[in-house]
Amino acid sequence: MVNSYGRKKRKPIYDEELGIAPTEEQIEKMQKQAKNVAYYWINQSDKTRKELYDKIKAKGITDDVANELLDKMVDLGYIDDERYAENFVTSKMTYEKLGHQAILYKLKNKGIEQHIIDNALLAIGDEDTEENARILAEKRLYPTRNLEKNKRIQNIAAFLARRGYSGSIAFKISREAVDQALSSQEE
């Protein structure tokens, strides 16, 4: 078998669908391969437990071996979903200016538990959220300059909503930005 890169595909160490328990030798090989996969991806960037689990399972490794290794990595501190969520929230708020809903959605897709997400999102203050929304709204003012006032507000609010801001914040900030832009044009 050849993969899309023209390389030979490795034959899986063990096939769970056979219904036969793996031998000691197969278990040892799976443990070694799981460890290699996990450390490779951890060295690339911080990962959640679910992300690493998916990477390991993609190599045909059993659930028992994968979970055993991941439990050890959690105990050693290589995997920490709480730390990951805190760093993720800070990064997405600072650099991408995403709102609560977008961050929540992304963290859920990464397999972070709801209580961890809630704790990480508590670090975001309402002032920070509104400031980020203002920055994004100001960037959206120029492309909407030829629209009438209400269409402009709707356009900017829709943009903010797509970035994960609640409807109330999106409309409040877009209305403020458009009103401020119009008042500065009149002067």
- Total-model pTM: 0.80
Fold of 81-122: Arc Repressor Mutant, subunit A (1.10.10)
What gap in Å lies between CA 48 and CA 100, rounded to an integer?
Answer: 19
Please check whether the domain covering 16-76 is classified as CATH 2.60.40: no
What gap in Å lies between CA 74 and CA 10, rounded to an integer?
Answer: 28
pLDDT exceeds 90 at position 25: no
* Residue 93 CA neighbour count, 13 Å, CB half: 21
Name the burial class of residue 88, with classes exposed (0-12), middle (13-18) and buried (19+) by CB atoms within 10 angstroms of its CB.
buried
3-state secondary structure of 141: helix
Using one digit for the tens of pLDDT, what is the confidence trace for 137-185?
A: 999 999 998 999 999 999 999 999 999 999 999 999 999 999 999 888 7
Using one digit for the tens of pLDDT, what is the confidence trace for 117-130?
A: 999 999 888 888 99
